[in-house]
Chains A and B, each alone.
Chain A
Amino acid sequence: GQQLNQSPQSMFIQEGEDVSMNCTSSSIFNTWLWYKQDPGEGPVLLIALYKAGELTSNGRLTAQFGITRKDSFLNISASIPSDVGIYFCAGQSTAGGGADGLTFGKGTHLIIQP
């Protein structure tokens, strides 16, 4: 199947710091999605991006759909303790990755130190 490279694998930051993570692929995607998984829960959609170059915000979160359609990034500003969790990117295309062409990155584990 298609591969997504998500980095970093984990981040140890202080409360109040900004966070940046990204996903890259060798394939083109039509949609980029960012999910967050709280400890003990299933992933929940944070932001969906549908057009190359699109920049979308959701509160302190900002995500962009790369111009080449092969990458996306997620920024979190002024992190707070409830931001702890695993963040997944997912790319959606019309081919590959299953029925809905959805391919997940391996996740970025965000840990906030007091």
Chain B
Amino acid sequence: ELKVEQNPLFLSMQEGKNYTIYCNYSTTSDRLYWYRQDPGKSLESLFVLLSNGAVKQEGRLMASLDTKARLSTLHITAAVHDLSATYFCAVDIVRYGGSQGNLIFGKGTKLSVKP
């Protein structure tokens, strides 16, 4: 059974600081996604990582994937209040002979950025 573990689950940061969220998964996969969810809202796609060594950056967020270590990281640089949200990683299980499979989500990391 595929397990996806995120840590930390809760993160309180001060503005301007850097931090990293970790996502470990238990089986082979070369597709990993990061999503953001604001309170009471739906999920917004942040990054799609499709190969070992993939690195994507958008603003103050940078995501990377190490498929050999089964680890993805989401690095936050110089945090600002607007980044406060819950961040989910999700790993793809490819099934059905070539079509995209199902995503197994981590439990999410609730990030709070304080002035």
Does B associate with A?
A: no
Spell out B's residues near A (CB within 8 Å): none
Interface residues of A (CB under 8 A from B): none
